[in-house]
Structure 1
């Protein structure tokens, strides 16, 4: 007997839906360990943090690229992996590791980075996990040379597998990583467009519970405008879908000082609260040097939660610089290419309607560039074939040089590491 809609639910879906209704910020680490015992300890510590949290299984780099033979050799030789090898360890081990820790009061999400995620999806479903993340673009261009068309097909099949859980009464959840393209130097309108397009792709292939990401960039003011635009566009185009927005602490070159790193996390939490976002992925004070410890992850979670509790959730609206108009122009141009979103995405990259600055993937046209303006905003300096030329005059900023690119890459790190600088957008 098929369950009714009123009976349907998934641990992650239900937890985040409740958080969105209550306007509670959920904080989440980027945690993954190869040893199931240590992974369980990390989940227990995350659950016990002084914050509203969900757990994470971040997978190892061999699993992400489908090199399961190397995972097996590492496990047999007792070598450490840089994440949890969910495929090789098998469902029994993962279920035992999660038993008594994860459930409706503390759900779990698998994070991986694979453009070809079929076996990962099989493994997480077999282990009873109902939430993961990625996307056919956001997990293809930054991390691989896999053709976009091949990634789209693989993600189509993976979405159908995950969506099949609905027949069992489980509402699975899938997060688009589209708002984090390359971590930095991608102007906000393109981040919004890719996140929303991936969300629509997920919905087209049977998923009804999704989240849309946005990574903290170079300007708190610009980020607020961008995230509010993301909310508005999602409300317009995903109105028949349960969705929420997840903010990522800055994904680029990270501050190397503890005050600088944690100050950046605090500002990410403030951004989440000031934009009505539901979830925050934190980074730690150790990001610039090594894989963080469990204790460092917990500190970052608690610092973020404390900053969120002290932030006004109804600040004045930021000035409009046209981010929403640019994002809608990009999205609408892609939607006009084909009713099948997978085919539309492939064609969009072939025609340069989607083109990620500084991305070396063979299917990326590579004709766009961005710069950080004098006011600290991330802006287009070259739009290539993006359908936004009428909205975004490229004379606003000079064409980037190699020195300018190096400056841009270290822009956020330098600001937060220097305690004497007043960071724009941060409270004094």
Structure 2
């Protein structure tokens, strides 16, 4: 393990971006160490600029380690890699000869209490991971937000110890992907920026900020421009980049529809000036993708990215998305100089409020809808410090309306021509 070359996740992505290449990444995790190693090796060998992923299993994410041990003992397949339970030597063996300066590996997990996971990373000198005190708390369970904030404070400070081993820790905020869908872009951008500021406040110097592809390409480009502008204004670190996620809601069920949507995600990343893309596959709606299916998706995304052209954005030109995100971020930061305390106060007051999120610490007074042009809009803003919705719906949305919006992208891209579709 000590002979493995140090990988700097942020530096690798930055170097590829400077050479004009988009880095593509799978969301891959397997419980069997041999399969996990094969997945990393195949990702590295793909005809694309890639980084590797070790995605943690669902039991480990919530600290149910006894369930992991039982599954391993009984030969029950896990839906990810049990990093905390497998010995450090096993994980080091998976990485040996694969992970390094030209192929960094990121740990993805979904935990509101990542301390055990980060300790396991420290044991094998893995420096890149992701999440956040809000984005890995509210959508995933009932852990109190205040507890998640404390856990993430401890987690950030633990990751900084990696510097003693020669590894620069890198943290990606998941805040731009809240619930995957139907959270208007201004709030996604705001939470991504706020979580990045939280990371910096707790000693992290290498950051990536996320944004998930939504329902309207033009609105998504506005959102990425707003994210880049706000980070340029507020982040006090130089090592940061933008990562775009292919659509995270109900994915198309047809092969052609899935690839058409993935191609648009790659175009969005390039046109918006992002440096990395989290890829989804044509198998997403049916099963956990195989290694081969992941590699095909990576190579297709890289091909689509090479065909796209970056769209220059005048940093001085604002947008409704920038104005909304800026208003949210500034309102939260004014609550307390400590970003963690400010986030807690913001949710208590309803300054941040995720539509359709059932977590007890979320006010639940906001609602959104997809308009006739496919844009994701506020229907009700609760106590958010933003302008009231311009369009009054005149009635509460029905469950049928909500289900229609949730399936909007699937229906649109599964149509043979991928044509226009009215949400409701």
TM-score (norm 1): 0.94
Distance 2:231 2:223 in 1: 12
Q: CA deviation at 1:10?
A: 4.7
Which of 375, 378, 390 does residue 376 from structure 2 map onto?
378
1:120 counterpart = 2:117: yes
Q: CA deviation at 1:166?
A: 2.4
Unaligned runs of 5+ in 1: 1-8
* Contact 1:383–1:394, Cα closer than 8 Å, also in 2: no
1:356 counterpart = 2:369: no
* Contact 2:335–2:346, Cα closer than 8 Å, also in 1: yes
1:344 counterpart = 2:342: yes
* Contact 1:203–1:241, Cα closer than 8 Å, also in 2: no
1:120–1:384 distance in 2 versus 1, CA, 3 Å: same
Partner-residue secondary structure (3-state), 2:392: helix
Deviations 1:17-73 (A, max 9, x none): 212322310000000000000000111110011100000000100000000000000
Q: CA deviation at 1:167?
A: 3.6
* Contact 1:371–1:397, Cα closer than 8 Å, also in 2: no
* Contact 2:132–2:195, Cα closer than 8 Å, also in 1: yes
* Counterpart residue number, 1:150: 147
Distance 1:320 1:223 in 2: 14
Distance 2:93 2:363 in 1: 46
TM-score (norm 2): 0.95
1:98 counterpart = 2:98: no
1:76 counterpart = 2:73: yes
* Contact 1:381–1:397, Cα closer than 8 Å, also in 2: no
Partner-residue secondary structure (3-state), 2:378: strand
Distance 1:407 1:360 in 2: 19
Partner-residue secondary structure (3-state), 1:286: coil
* Contact 2:125–2:162, Cα closer than 8 Å, also in 1: no
* Contact 2:170–2:207, Cα closer than 8 Å, also in 1: yes
Partner-residue secondary structure (3-state), 2:250: coil
Deviations 1:318-370 (A, max 9, x none): 99650000000000010001011111111111110100000000000000000
Deviations 1:131-187 (A, max 9, x none): 000000000000010000000000000000101222443211000000000010000
* Contact 2:84–2:117, Cα closer than 8 Å, also in 1: yes
Distance 1:211 1:110 in 2: 14
Partner-residue secondary structure (3-state), 1:221: helix
**RMSD between aligned residues:** 1.7
Alignment of 1:226-375 (within 5 A): 226-314=223-311, 321-375=319-373
* Counterpart residue number, 1:3: none
* Counterpart residue number, 1:223: 220
* Contact 2:7–2:99, Cα closer than 8 Å, also in 1: no
Partner-residue secondary structure (3-state), 1:119: helix
